[in-house]
Amino acid sequence: MPDSNPNTVTVPQAAVPSRPRVSWLRGNAQILAALGALVLLFLFNALFTPHFLSVQTLNVNLTQVATIVIVAVGMTLVIASGGIDLSVGALMAISGALAPMLFLHPPFGSPALGILLAFTVPVLVAGVFGLFNGTLVTRFGIQPFIATLILFIAGRGIAQVMTNGQLQTFSNTTFQYIGLGRPFGIPFQVILMLVIVALFAWIMARTVFGRYVLAVGGNERAAGLAGVPVRRVKLLVYGISGLLAGIAGLIVIAINSSSDANQVGLNMELDAIAAVAVGGTALTGGRATIIGTLLGALIIQLIRFTLLAKGVPDAAALVVKAAIILLAVYVQRQQH
């Protein structure tokens, strides 16, 4: 949570969600609670799960969680602004469908250009679809749930139509670096995840835009009256959510060495929303914690890993995951 540095707070006072002066500990109770849960889970595994304390286990968990975190960061912004984005999984499918088309059939027969376009065009296209969501919300006044439901339904269809539902398989080390590369032994997507988390944690805490997002989510009308460009802020958060979903789509297909429009990003919106909720961001808007979202995703991932390591079937893990989400949200509710 940001402290109030007078140099960075340029939002008019009325628009800034009131931040009662409480001790640092109380102000960060939710993050601390999430951190505590994570530490407990970690200790439990360290004691009772064989081979848990290994670089490989760490990498497996971080690799599996990276795409969820990247998407959930965008979701955190959207939710903080008082919205929701159901389309992220479908946008991942579109981005994942587009990339192989670009590097498998590079324009002008130039593989380098193909790779360059494969990294940029799908992400930008997903971003444009995100802006489309934002336009529906801002210009047409459609509720975010319905506005993003449209691409949830149509988006995967668009990806399937583009690929005719066919599985695209490939082997391209340059492109797949985003999912398989290991600089210094660390999976590349984990580095990407950390950079994105750090960037957006900074944006939310230290920039005017971050304050604007919270102001819009806290009280849209007050924010508008106080001069916050409400429409532009909302448009941008959906755009950002789309861009991040686009990046996640590239990572997923790079890991799989194939792109299946039917599967890429399936249920991602649920995982991302769950991570945001467990992380302590209020689903009603106005408050956000990017670090909390990271912790939330890690908690869910570690629970799943623990259950699987203990031989609990994946199906039962779903039930436990549901209980954890409910418990986390219930505990948060008690705190307000």
Q: Are the C-beta atoms of 146 and 270 separated by less than 8 Å? A: no
Q: Exposure string (b/e) for 103-112, b if CB count within 10 Å is 16 or more?
A: beebeeeeee
**Mapping DSSP to helix (H, G, I), strand (E, B) and coil, where does residue 327 land?**
helix
The yes or no reply on residue 314 touching another protein (CB under 8 A) is yes
The yes or no reply on residue 153 touching another protein (CB under 8 A) is yes
Q: Which one of the spans 37-45, 49-57, 290-298, 325-333 is the region binding another protein (CB under 8 A)?
A: 325-333
Question: What is the residue type of 240?
Answer: I
Residue 156 or 287 with smaller CB distance to another protein: 156
Binding string to another protein for residues 164 to 183, with x set by CB under 8 A, is what?
xx------------------
Q: Are the C-beta atoms of 156 and 89 separated by less than 8 Å? A: yes
Q: Which residue has the tokens 């996640």?
A: 248
Question: What is the residue type of 118?
Answer: A
Q: Are the C-beta atoms of 93 and 264 separated by less than 8 Å? A: yes
Of the candidate residues 211, 234, 287, 321, the single one contacting another protein (CB under 8 A) = 321
Q: Which residue has the tokens 């914690």?
A: 289
Q: Are the C-beta atoms of 138 and 231 separated by less than 8 Å? A: yes
Tokens of 30: 């939710």
Smallest separation (angstroms) from another protein to the CB of 182: 32
Residue 129 or 212 with smaller CB distance to another protein: 129
Q: Which one of the spans 121-129, 148-156, 176-184, 242-250 is the region binding another protein (CB under 8 A)?
A: 148-156
Of the candidate residues 9, 41, 149, 208, the single one contacting another protein (CB under 8 A) = 149
Contact residues: another protein, CB under 8 A: 84, 86, 136, 140-143, 145-147, 149-158, 160-161, 164-165, 266-267, 270, 273-274, 277, 283-284, 313-319, 321-323, 325-326, 329-330, 333
